[in-house]
Amino acid sequence: MVFLASRRCGGMAPMTGVLGWKERQGRRVGSVTLYVNDQLECMELHLGMDEKPSKSLWVKIKGRAGTGDITVEVWYRSLNQEDRADEALYRQIGVASHSQALVLMGDFNHPDICWRDNAAGHNQSRRFLECVDDNFLLQVIEEPMKRGAMLDLVLTNKERLVGNVKLKGSLGCIDHETVEFKILRAVKKGAQQALYPGLQESRLWPLQGSAW
């Protein structure tokens, strides 16, 4: 999976961080990667250093003059993920939720969640909903992507922080869609600007050469 934080002009800087993994069978290789435009200042965050490494990546992107920073997390959750790994992520989200601006995005793999009713059939999915509620997060994608299920999510801790969400179709032969959205930040009372226009999530699975 590749997540791009871009702007309308300028090039892409070298990847901020790459988190790679192998499934237990040792066959499938994947990674979570974040590329950030070279005009944006950012730093990788290490939340929960005592935790077992999870398939997530946290960064802080510095805001422009007059605006605050934004914390961004990208995440991949496998369908057979253990409860312990889920809980480690939820603790990290709890720490990050104190940020003034937080955006979480990725493949959370909870196909049984009904976001309209805020309900789920499995214990793991219900626990995820509890984490979302406990940290006052908003889920902004409204259209299902994969076979009627909403696996790829964008969550934020601020109303109207994320806008202009669009599904842009799949990339190549993969069955996930590209999600494009803008992060808006208030610069003065009654006005908003696109602080990070075109922040875009792309599904590229698997990403070769980035595993460990």
Please give the structure tokens belonging to residue 81.
Answer: 């993920």
CB 185 within 8 A of CB 63: yes
Three-state SS at 22 = strand
| CATH 3.60.10.10 assigned to 2-202 | yes
Identify the top-confidence range among 24-33, 34-43, 121-130, 191-200.
121-130
CB 18 within 8 A of CB 210: yes
Q: What is the pTM of this model?
A: 0.74
Please give the structure tokens belonging to residue 163.
Answer: 């806008």
In the sheet with 152-156, reading across from the earlier edge strand, the strands are: 42-45, 56-61, 70-76, 102-107, 152-156, 138-139
Please, which pLDDT band fits residue 156 given cuts at 50, 70 and 90? Answer: very high
